[in-house]
Amino acid sequence: MPAVKGQKFKQYSFEIKMEALHLHLVEDWTYRRIMEECGVTDRPLLKDWMKSTKNPVSLDSSIIAEDARHTLTKTDR
Residue 74 confidence (pLDDT)? 46
Q: What pLDDT score was predicted for residue 75?
A: 46
Question: Is 0.95 topped by the overall pTM?
Answer: no
- pLDDT tens per residue, range 16-48: 998 998 899 889 999 999 999 999 999 999 999
Show the 3-state SS of the chain: CCCCCCCCCCCCCHHHHHHHHHHHHCCCCCHHHHHHHHCCCCHHHHHHHHHHCCCHHHHHHHHHHHHHHHHHHHHHC
The amino acid that residue 63 corresponds to is I
- Cβ proximity of 34 and 46 under 8 Å: yes
Domain residue spans in the chain?
14-76
Answer with the residue of higher pLDDT: 50 or 69: 50
pLDDT of residue 7: 83
Other Cβ atoms less than 10 A from the Cβ of 52: the count is: 18
